[in-house]
Amino acid sequence: MLNEYFNYLATKNYQSTIKLEEQIVNLYPESFEANIYMGRLYYRSGQFDLALENFKKAEMYATNKKGLVAIYSLLGSAYHLKGDLENALLYFSKSLRFAEELGDRSSELAQLNNIALIFRKEGELDKALNYLEKSLELATNENDKASRYNNIAVVYSDKGEYAKAIDYFKKAIESYTQYKAYETFKSIGAKAEARMVLIDLSELEQPQT
C-alpha cells in the first residue's frame, strides 16, 4: 500500500493518493504521520478546510516539539491561503516559539519570514521589517540572505522608501550571484575557486570603514 501511495504522490495524482491515504488513516486513526500526510494531500489539492481538520488531528497525536513545529507551520499556511490572517499569525507564532526552544534555525528562519508576510498583508510594514531583519540576522548562507534582502526591499518599496528598496535589491542580487557562483564552482569540482568565492563572501560581511 505504501509503494502505491508514493507512486501516486510522485505523479501528483492527488485524488488517487487521497483515496489511498484515507484507507491508511482509517487503519491508523491516531497516527500523527497518517493525519499529517492526509492534511498535506488536501492542502496540495486546495481543500483547505479538510487539510485543517487533519492537521488538527495530527496536533492531538504529536509526541514532541519537533512535530508541533511542523504542524503549526502547516496550520499557519492553510489559514493563510484561506485568507484567515489572524489564525495564520497565531500558528506561525506558535511554530516559531517551539523552533526557538529547540534551536531549530531553519524553522526559525521560515517562521520569521512567514510572520513578516502576514504583517505585510495586514499593512503593518514596520512589524514586517522587524521580523525580516531578525530573519536576516539568523541567515548563514548567501541564498538565505538574498531572499531576506529581497523581501526587505519589497517592504521598503511598499513604504515608499525607494532608495532603501534599491539598496536592498542590490544586496539581494549580489548575495544571490555569489551564492550561484559558489554552487557552480562546487558542482564541477573546482574546489580552489569555490574557496576563493567563500573568502570574497567573508570580506563582504566585514563592516565598512
User: So where are the chain's domains?
Assistant: 2-168
Q: Which residue has the higher pLDDT, 1 or 99?
A: 99
Provide the grid cell at 104.
531549530
Give the best-scoring range by mean pLDDT among 13-17, 60-64, 129-133, 166-170. 129-133
Distance between CA atoms of 125 and 42, rounded to whole angstroms?
32
Q: Count CA atoms closer than 13 A to 116's CA, side-chain side.
A: 26
Report pLDDT digits (tens) over 85-108: 999 999 999 999 999 999 999 999
- pLDDT of residue 182 exceeding 90, the answer is no
Mean pLDDT calculated for residue range 133-139: 94
What angle do the packed helices 105-121 and 142-158 form, to 10 degrees? Answer: 10
- Residue 38, judged by CB atoms within 10 A of its CB (0-12, 13-18, 19+), counts as buried
- pLDDT of residue 68 exceeding 90, the answer is yes
- pTM across the whole model: 0.76
Distance between CA atoms of 114 and 131, rounded to whole angstroms?
9
- pLDDT of residue 205 exceeding 50, the answer is no
Provide the grid cell at 59.
496536533
Domain 2-168 has CATH 3.40.50.300: no
Mean pLDDT calculated for residue range 186-190: 52
- Residue 131, judged by CB atoms within 10 A of its CB (0-12, 13-18, 19+), counts as buried
Indicate the DSSP class of residue 117. Answer: H
* Confidence at residue 34, expressed as pLDDT on a 0 to 100 scale: 82
